Homo-oligomer: A and B are copies of this chain.
């Protein structure tokens, strides 16, 4: 019961290895009788079909797209935004008949480095912090690569939204409604697991480019409206969950003076803020306005949010990756839009 290869079958049938290969991958090159004979013998010997790796090597094509997320895999799908993006990407992959290889991030000292050994034709990098070692490994592979959301890598295609503009749009909305006491809750700024108040210095030092930009949009809109940013309570979360949002909500809504509007950078967080408001007996939007981000979990709860085309972004990334010739290093900025629902209103 040693390993059965094309050669084993060839020897048994008394033909050359090439003939057996044709039997499997180019039936028209063979007489029907011989082909049947070969398949029969293959079956008898328990042949598992042409070895996928060998075929891939010879053909120079892996039939898979590599995908790198910032979060450890188990948490990557906690955010509906990620799920939407993934659906778009998967649709493109499915269309082309290629698989999606989800890679674990390098982790501790291990002898096999997932990125280096990934059998893929191209890489899609999503939301990596500045300077993350995985990015260097991806670049070293010299395969086509597109980045989604962050970080922008000159010379490679980029797909995302105009983060500062989107942030400014969200903040501008509540400012226009007349709010002057704003609070902010954000997740995904830093990688160090810290949760709690963040001063402007720490905010600006965030290694995640997209979130840094989004936050800068909040700030610029506030400053333009005459607010002192240093006086804006800013609560940072390490996990994007409803429970984390609730924690931030408790902190922000107990601040003195209490904010009349809270900005968040995910809908999931915003839902948690709503929970906190309920805990504290505050009405939304009468006592406090809440703005989410992504329009991923917002509709049912009546959340005002910024909608971004997550599926389209994923699909576009996929098509770029699969395009032949390889994609030009464009920067593709998708539109975003403010969706006003019932979680925001003028103060008082």
What's the minimum C-beta distance from A94 to chain B, rounded to whole angstroms?
Answer: 4
In the assembly, what is the distance between CA of A63 and CA of B142, in Å? Answer: 20
In the assembly, what is the distance between CA of A143 and CA of B51, in Å? Answer: 11
Contact code string A326-339 (vs B, CB < 8 Å = 1, else 0): 00000000000000
What's the minimum C-beta distance from A281 to chain B, rounded to whole angstroms?
Answer: 19
Q: Do A119 and B64 touch across chains, with their CB atoms under 8 A apart?
A: yes
Asked if A54 is at the interface of the complex by the 8 Å CB criterion, the answer is yes
Q: Do B74 and A87 touch across chains, with their CB atoms under 8 A apart?
A: yes
Q: Which of chain A's residues 137-162 have a Cβ closer than 8 Å to chain B?
A: 140-143
Report B-chain residues with C-beta under 8 Å of the C-beta of A54.
57
Report B-chain residues with C-beta under 8 Å of the C-beta of A97.
104, 107, 110, 112, 114
Report B-chain residues with C-beta under 8 Å of the C-beta of A51.
57
What's the minimum C-beta distance from A121 to chain B, rounded to whole angstroms?
Answer: 10
Q: Which of chain A's residues 6-26 have a Cβ closer than 8 Å to chain B?
A: none
Q: Do B83 and A114 touch across chains, with their CB atoms under 8 A apart?
A: no
Q: Which of chain A's residues 33-91 have a Cβ closer than 8 Å to chain B?
A: 46, 48-57, 62-64, 66, 72-77, 83, 86-88, 90-91
In the assembly, what is the distance between CA of A74 and CA of B73, in Å? Answer: 18
Report B-chain residues with C-beta under 8 Å of the C-beta of A50.
116
In the assembly, what is the distance between CA of A77 and CA of B87, in Å? Answer: 8
Q: Do B141 and A63 touch across chains, with their CB atoms under 8 A apart?
A: no
What's the minimum C-beta distance from A136 to chain B, rounded to whole angstroms?
Answer: 12
Q: Do A87 and B63 touch across chains, with their CB atoms under 8 A apart?
A: no
Asked if A231 is at the interface of the complex by the 8 Å CB criterion, the answer is no
Q: Do B101 and A101 touch across chains, with their CB atoms under 8 A apart?
A: yes
Report B-chain residues with C-beta under 8 Å of the C-beta of A120.
52
What's the minimum C-beta distance from A148 to chain B, rounded to whole angstroms?
Answer: 17
In the assembly, what is the distance between CA of A25 and CA of B97, in Å? Answer: 33
Q: Do B56 and A117 touch across chains, with their CB atoms under 8 A apart?
A: yes
- Report the nearest B residue to A24, measured CB to CB: B116
A interface residues with partner B (beta carbon < 8 Å): 46, 48-57, 62-64, 66, 72-77, 83, 86-88, 90-91, 93-94, 97-104, 107, 110, 112, 114, 116-120, 140-143, 242, 300
- What are the 5 A-B residue pairs with the smallest beta carbon separation, nearest first? A73-B90, A94-B104, A48-B142, A74-B87, A74-B91
Extra pairs beyond A49-B140, A63-B114 (18, CB < 8 Å): A50-B116, A52-B62, A52-B141, A53-B62, A53-B119, A54-B57, A63-B112, A66-B99, A73-B87, A73-B91, A90-B104, A98-B114, A99-B101, A99-B103, A99-B118, A100-B101, A100-B102, A101-B101
